[in-house]
Structure 1
Amino acid sequence: MKKILIIGIVASGKTTFAKRLSQKFSLPWYELDSIVHHNTATGRYKRSAEEQFEIIKEIDIKGAWIFEGTDRDSYQCLYQMADTIIFLDTPLWKRKVRILTRFIKQKLGIEKCHYKPDIMMLKMMYKWTRDFEQSRNSFDAKLNRYNEKVIRLRDSNNLDVTKGTRLS
């Protein structure tokens, strides 16, 4: 495993899992949200799909990596580039609890974030979760195209990726 794509919906544990996997295998990791949304001195803006692709290519040229994020059209290239795709399929109930817990921690200043943690964002996270569940079959069909390199994990606390379910 030298090029790992960790994919999952909001609050599935992607960032925490990526950090831990990065330490275990000494691989650099990148949050795809930071590639999509660029922070500058004047604020945060969304990069174009072309800009995102260029950044991903620059990182890929350097060698091994871990990318983590939700599924977006703008970085579908990572499915081909990765030698391992880990889908964090955390149970719905756990994701819902994590969304609320994260929101509370952000509002209290305990946890940092790159966006404004307001009620609108909280509602959006639950909406994205609902939308994902409604379109899960199409996402699973996409993963099936890469079945030889996909590992489905239901527990993001377990770094032993051999305990995941291989799609086939």
Structure 2
Amino acid sequence: MKIYIIGSVGSGKTTLARNIAKKTEIAAYELDNVVWEHRPDGDRRRIPAERDAILQDILKKDSWIIEGAQYADWVLPALRSADRIIFLDPPNRVIQHRIVKRFIQQKLHLEEANYRPTFHMLWMMFQWSAQFQKEGRSQILHMLNSFQEKTVILKVKKDLNKTVSL
């Protein structure tokens, strides 16, 4: 099974990917870790060739779960290869609540982060969420038109059990 999960920051992508991975024992990959190399002296954005090579290595596997907010052309090979695409599209108020909840949990060291949970990062999360609502959502829906037969759009958590059969 090859599953691609897409949605805004705070939509529940990572949580869903981890839950499916635990249930199915399929490896889950965060696109943020494909785009960024985390180093002790600070994160470094990978050059496109390096990023694309890492994605291609993941796509060669028999099964995978890939999750991310990215909707640029470089992710199209993953969308084409996926058996199931899940677009998490909860209401904006839910996303904002989750962003704040995640920030508090990370500050209290109850949840790990791939970045330092600073107030600047919290502000950036809200900015990315607003950008997603303004442009990203419609661009993703347009991009997913080519994959309608394998795409599921989930707006509320209770739809997950009814719609996603693995």
d(CA) in 1 for partners of 2:57, 2:104: 36
Amino acid at match of 2:52: F
Unmatched 5+ stretches in structure 2: none
Question: What do residues 127-161 of structure 1 show as CA deviations (whole Å, max 9, x unaligned)?
Answer: 1111111113232111112111111112346653x
SS in 2 for 1:5: strand
Q: TM-score normalised to the size of structure 2?
A: 0.88
Question: What do residues 102-129 of structure 1 show as CA deviations (whole Å, max 9, x unaligned)?
Answer: 1122222222211121121111111111
d(CA) in 2 for partners of 1:156, 1:100: 18
Q: 1:95 to 1:13 in 2, by over 3 A?
A: same
Q: Which shifted more, 35-44 or 84-93?
A: 35-44
What is the count of residue pairs matched by the alignment?
A: 162
d(CA) in 1 for partners of 2:11, 2:140: 15
Amino acid at match of 2:123: K
1:93 maps to 93
Question: What do residues 62-100 of structure 1 show as CA deviations (whole Å, max 9, x unaligned)?
Answer: 211000111242423211121211001122111101111
Amino acid at match of 1:53: D
1:4 aligns with 2:3: yes
2:131 maps to 131
Amino acid at match of 2:9: V
- Cα deviation, residue 26, structure 1: 2.3
Percent identity between the two aligned chains: 37
Which structure: greater helix fraction? 2
What do you get for the CA RMSD once the two structures are aligned?
1.8
Alignment of 1:35-50 (within 5 A): 35-50=34-49
Alignment of 1:1-168 (within 5 A): 2-73=1-72, 74-135=74-135, 136-156=137-157, 159-160=160-161, 163=163
Contact conserved, 1:5 with 1:78, CA < 8 A, in 2?
A: yes
Q: Which shifted more, 5-14 or 114-123?
A: 114-123
Unmatched 5+ stretches in structure 1: none
d(CA) in 2 for partners of 1:24, 1:109: 25
